[in-house]
Structure 1
Amino acid sequence: MTNPTLTTDPRPAYLAALDWVADLAGAVPADRMADPTPCDGFDVRTLLAHLVTTLRRPASIAAGTDPLAHPVVSEDVLDAPATAYVAEAAALKSAWSGPEGEALLDRVARLPFGEVAARTALTVFLNETLVHGWDLAVATGQAPEADPDLATTALATARAFLPAEPRGGPVPFGPVVEHRPEAGPTERLANWSGRVSTGWVTTGG
């Protein structure tokens, strides 16, 4: 994963992504929790619990604590991961909003691949949020495309921060998957991040 300089404010896109995934999480039927997802090793329940971790890590950045102290899967929310995601997304939005959130953007944040400015970290979490949102949507029969402008912006950023090579090892993404001609920008972002659409989306869209 490369580390180009980011000078823009990623918060509007990131907070919009949180809203999208919170809506998806809130609509997950209780009987779909054991269903598989495109994210290897995660069913719907554990994917949602991982998504909670993707909230807790930027929350730790805002609080000045170690984001990597949170495990990959937040096992404490496995009984009600969708409810936890909705509640913690709302709290995270509050932490990063307004002048208080803006003041955090140049704070140093520790991520698995190294230390970066918090504004850069939020672009990483934006990609993760949208890609896992796509995972959740296709796994639970929901509309898998976020706002096109949001996903297009995220895709452009992902291409800058996550080049096609190398992948694997310290860069925890699979090889780029060629997207379908009719794929929307969220699906294309998922493909860029190594997700395979086959078997998860219909050929018509």
Structure 2
Amino acid sequence: MTHSENTPMPPAASDDPRESLLKAIALAGRTVAAVRPEQWDGPTPCPEFTVRRLAAHLVAVLRRIALAGRGGDVTTLPTVVEGLADTAWQEAWDAGVREVEEAWADPAVLGRTLILPFGSIPGAAAAAVWTSEFTVHTWDVATATGQLPDWDPRLVAISDAAMRRGLPAGPRDGAPFGAAVDVDPDAPAIDRLVAWCGRNP
């Protein structure tokens, strides 16, 4: 995000949910960009998605985040971009990132109420939710394609806190997550996060 000399700078990255969200998006982008052509049709730990379809879902999420930042209702946009060719993915991704940066450039978005599929929440909370979505789906893509991302401990912590606030420990009827999986309390933070989200690390 760019700021003129007369525009107040946002809080330090550690305090600005937008910066954490953009970092999570960037890691997801690098991970999908590293997918090899023969891996696109492979399964992922997210049962309803192949690698290709999960990549198309993440592009759709970018567009939803941008729409929310502009004050729109994200439920008016699809959850997957259909017909996105493998060769067109990077261009669509880069365009989506630019839309997010522009729509969230004003710090005031963090205090506005945004409309998400599960309800209306402040922009700062929505940014944390989307940070967790990108982090978990980055793990899905990485696991499906044999990658080992360099996890940012702060992003994982933000994601874990958001998911534990938003997902019950018990039955999750109607939520797009399976039951939490038991892992060792001393397991890596990313493993604890994805296990809470129903993955088996």
Q: Given the two structures, how large is their TM-score scaled by the length of structure 2? A: 0.83
For structure 1, the residue ranges without an aligned partner over 5 or more in a row are 1-7, 198-205
**How do residues 46-85 of structure 1 correspond to structure 2 at under 5 angstroms?**
46-80=53-87, 82-83=89-90, 84-85=92-93
Contact 1:109 1:116 in 2 (8 A): yes
Q: Identity of aligned pairs, percent?
A: 40
Give the C-alpha shift of residue 48 in structure 1.
0.3
Instruction: Choose which of 63, 86, 92 in structure 1 pairs with 2:100.
Output: 92
One-letter amino acid of the structure 2 residue matched with residue 146 of structure 1: W
In structure 2, C-alpha distance between the alignment counterparts of 1:189 and 1:27, rounded to whole Å: 23
Which structure ranks higher in relative contact order (CA pairs < 8 Å, sequence separation ≥ 6)? 1
For structure 2, the residue ranges without an aligned partner over 5 or more in a row are 1-14
- Which ranges of 4 or more aligned residues in structure 1 deviate by more than 3 Å? 78-82, 180-183
In structure 1, C-alpha distance between the alignment counterparts of 2:31 and 2:55, rounded to whole Å: 10
In structure 2, C-alpha distance between the alignment counterparts of 1:78 and 1:68, rounded to whole Å: 24
SS of equivalent to 1:35: coil
In structure 2, C-alpha distance between the alignment counterparts of 1:152 and 1:127, rounded to whole Å: 9
SS of equivalent to 2:193: helix
Give the C-alpha shift of residue 180 in structure 1.
4.7
Q: Given the two structures, how large is their TM-score scaled by the length of structure 1? A: 0.81
In structure 2, C-alpha distance between the alignment counterparts of 1:120 and 1:129, rounded to whole Å: 14
CA RMSD, 1 decimal: 2.1
Instruction: Choose which of 97, 121, 128 in structure 2 pairs with 1:123.
Output: 128
